[in-house]
Structure 1
Amino acid sequence: MAKHPGIFPTFFLSGFECSNFLWGERPGVRRNLIAETRHDRHAAEDYRILAELGIAVSREGIPWPLADRAGGGQYDFSMVDPFIEAMNASKIIPIWDLFHYGYPDDLDPYDDAFASRFAAYCRAAAEYVVPKVRGPHFFTPINEITFFSFCAGEWGWAAPYRCSRDDRMRLRLALCRAAIAGVKAIREVDPDARMVHIDPLVRVVAPRDRPDQIEAARHETEVDTFLAWDVIYGREHPELGGAPEILDIVGANNYSFGQMEYREHGPHKPLDPGDDRIAPLCDMLQTVWERYRRPMIIGETSGMRDGRADWLHDVMCESLAAVRRGMDLQGICLFPAVDMPDWHTGEWLHNGICDLAEENGDLKRVPDGKYVDELRRWQKELNRVTRLDEDPFSDPVELQDVVDAAQRLDMQPDKDWC
């Protein structure tokens, strides 16, 4: 019996980029990153790779626009069958991502009918996948509500292509309403289903020569960053039905561009490495922990190119410092498992556990050796499995090993990280 049983069967998680938005730079064209990365063709191989890496949990998308093309309660979830077969064969459980920046063509997220249509879809998706995949069952109703509200509500990158702060605020509340309705619908199917609400971990500072922007930067860091989680938790807009058990598990995404210098118009400027305004990741996680006191994961994290191994090292040091402080950190999601293209340029980002190499009209999976070696080092340090056994679900993960390692290594927060 585990002294400190974890929620997930492994401490390290992963996932596959599954955006399916209508993209403003290609009007009328719906992107499908599952197809662009050939994950749809390589599902069996992709999940074998994760199993061989000792990763038993993966974020996987169900594309709402493709499953709900007909409307009127007519769904086609057959496109996820190859993923279910591959996951079951490799003994990996999914965190089903039900809305990754895309919604059906005939819907308007600002319309009151949006939330009820989303809830009906969530209920149908749960009815389809729950009997087919071994539990426990995990869902992310709407991915990155805060970021998508900027992306589609203020910057006009994706549908609904709005370009004002007011539109962004309205879109965020509409998405929160839908997410809460979606959680309740899923739990009508599986009352024990767990929810992982993913959003970026953000810190914004004013330019050094613009003290007049200090308050705006502070508001974005301390208020805007948390509003979606606050609504889902029930701290703000309680009329929407949020509650701590609906927020459930907090997934905080951590990337280098999450610490930024404020820009009044358009996306903020990421802080350069070595900038003395960078805060330790541990301190940022503590802000989340003290606000909600809910189980947490790092919902996505990855370095770029040759920096992937160093990035993982620094994220692990900061994460163990957080565990040492008593935070309930349940896992770290190395995302993506395979590379993904830059949305704007189409160039490969080289941020996955595996790079993708063109070969005979296909995309070959090429593991990044240094990244994998660093993962292996930490798995051994934390007494984690390095390869899934016959039944990864036979015993809960022993998080006490992670706590013990954090104490033994005496991890401390450090702002001087990648």
Structure 2
Amino acid sequence: MAQSFLDLIRARYGDGDYPGDQYGGADGADGRGLPTDSPRNFMFATGIECSYPTIEHGRVRRDLLAECGHYRHWQKDLHLVKELGLNVLRYGLPYHLTHLGPGRYDWSFPDTVMREMQALKITPILDLLHFGVPDWLGNFQNPELPVHFADYCAAVAERYPWVRYYTPVNEIYVTARVSARDGVWNEQLKSDRGFVTALKHLVAASILGTQRIAQRRPDLIVIQSESAEYTHEARAERTPEVTVANKLRFLALDLLYAHPMESDVCMYLADNGLTRAEYDWFMAGEPPGYQVMGNDYYGRNEHILLPDGGRCQAEDVMGWYQITREYYNRYRKPVMHTETNVFDAEKAPCWLWKQWMNILRMRHDGVPVLGFTWYSLTDQIDWDIELAEQRGTVNPCGLFDLERRPRPVALAYRQLLEEFGQITVVPHGELFEVTGRAASLKVEV
């Protein structure tokens, strides 16, 4: 009987663990193990809830950094991030307290936190505007916002030159809608013109701020966090209002990424104050830096509009996968799942795994998903009513409660990290390590 090649291999090398196999293969790395700080690794993150809009027509500031105890427990919070096994943190500097006026800043709190973050080797994704502005800027109807915010972005980049990841303006669409069309925050308007005005000022602020950061950090990575929304209409005949509303959810990213819009959306913008010159300015081209499209998804982002006008939550009719796939097909940007949670602490572990399965499916289908965020590190307050009133209701959606005790989802996240923590940012991601080379516009070939 002829000798098998396996007999010859085993005689030479033994049974497995062949020289060279440690570089990948039958016995190579499979992605298990807690995350490392390698730039080729998938980015697992959490975030510190940092919203600071005003309510009651500017008389009351909802500062969630204060209400959730971060100003008191910031050091503990940073250490909890590391103890959980994470290296990436979505972190919002308190813009409303830091930018005191044109050219005037108070860095006392940011400096303290940023020093500790650097010492712990936490990679921050700096969130520079989260639902509110300093009192002296008024609100999002102020046309001076883009210029002043750009100065602030430049000052942040100058002060923390080691930071590379930024979200200049968090959830632009939600910020404009809730402030100027739903009448809940800041200017508390209920008008399409107010909404368009807020939207264009916010997008312009993001673009100008990104340009100023790029002057100091040409290789910056912008992870735009935008709400992944959809309204299903449970009516035999679709109404034009809902059809247009499902197009308006793209408005912020269309303006940000210079994506031409359909005629009805253009007419809506023109009818509500966007001039031709402003439109042309937005369409001139997208901002600098490596652009990542972050999509936030909560089950409450997806609604069913009932025949009687009522609404019900529609989580997982489409889910993060299908809604984000729409956004990806539109913009063709690398994707990050930038926010998710659920307000039921017992259901949170299952929700975490469902979101992770969405991500694995998306990656399997060839979409470059670069990261995932459970938002936030701790429980939140009054987000069940969008911060509209100061009721003090604790939303048990954090990895830890407000006493900094772990919730069940923290244990589930740790398990997820141990199983997947060293997968590459994309398959064969070793080929595409993030380098220090300056970002430049990519052209399709």
Tell me, yes or no, whether TM beats 0.5. yes
Q: Is the 8 A contact 1:43 1:82 kept in 2?
A: no
Q: Which residue of 1 aligns with 2:438?
A: none
Q: How many residues align?
A: 371
Q: Which residue of 1 aligns with 2:296?
A: 253
CA distance in 2, matches of 1:233, 1:246: 12
1:60 is paired with a residue whose SS is strand
CA distance in 1, matches of 2:180, 2:124: 29
Cα separation, partners in 2 of 1:83 and 1:383, compared to 1, 3 Å: closer
Q: CA deviation at 1:10?
A: 4.9
Deviation per CA, 1:116-167: give whole Å up to 9, x if none: 111111111111122xxx44x1111111110011110012211112111221
Cα separation, partners in 2 of 1:272 and 1:193, compared to 1, 3 Å: closer
Cα separation, partners in 2 of 1:212 and 1:60, compared to 1, 3 Å: same
Deviation per CA, 1:3-43: give whole Å up to 9, x if none: 9998675531111111111123x751212111111112212
Q: Tell which deviates more after alignment, 31-40 or 2-11.
A: 2-11
Q: Which residue of 1 aligns with 2:258?
A: 234
Q: Is the 8 A contact 1:382 1:401 kept in 2?
A: no
CA distance in 2, matches of 1:218, 1:402: 39
Letter in 1 for 2:121: K
Q: Which residue of 2 aligns with 1:314?
A: 354
Unaligned runs of 5+ in 2: 1-22, 32-36, 261-278, 431-445
Letter in 2 for 1:11: M
CA distance in 2, matches of 1:196, 1:231: 16
Q: Is the 8 A contact 1:335 1:352 kept in 2?
A: yes
Q: CA deviation at 1:372?
A: 2.5
Q: CA deviation at 1:381?
A: 3.1
Letter in 1 for 2:325: Q
Q: Which residue of 2 aligns with 1:201?
A: 228
CA distance in 2, matches of 1:27, 1:111: 14
CA distance in 1, matches of 2:42, 2:302: 29
Deviation per CA, 1:372-391: give whole Å up to 9, x if none: 23223322332539xxxxxx
Q: CA deviation at 1:352?
A: 0.6
1:172-211 correspondence runs (5 A): 172-206=199-233, 208-209=234-235, 211=237
Q: Is the 8 A contact 1:258 1:270 kept in 2?
A: no
Letter in 2 for 1:16: I
Q: Which residue of 1 aligns with 2:67?
A: 36
1:19 is paired with a residue whose SS is coil
CA distance in 2, matches of 1:271, 1:244: 35
CA distance in 2, matches of 1:177, 1:205: 30
Q: Is residue 376 of structure 1 aligned with residue 419 of structure 2?
A: no
Q: Tell which deviates more after alignment, 329-338 or 298-307.
A: 298-307
TM-score by length of 1: 0.81
Cα separation, partners in 2 of 1:297 and 1:354, compared to 1, 3 Å: same
Larger radius of gyration: 2
Letter in 2 for 1:232: L
TM-score by length of 2: 0.77
Deviation per CA, 1:265-297: give whole Å up to 9, x if none: x9x8342568xxx11422222112111121111
Q: Is the 8 A contact 2:227 2:296 kept in 1?
A: yes
Q: Is residue 57 of structure 1 aligned with residue 88 of structure 2?
A: yes
Letter in 1 for 2:192: R
Deviation per CA, 1:217-253: give whole Å up to 9, x if none: 23322x2111111111111434135416458111100
Q: Which residue of 2 aligns with 1:95?
A: 125
Q: Is the 8 A contact 2:54 2:185 kept in 1?
A: yes
Cα separation, partners in 2 of 1:204 and 1:83, compared to 1, 3 Å: same
Q: Is the 8 A contact 1:67 1:76 kept in 2?
A: yes
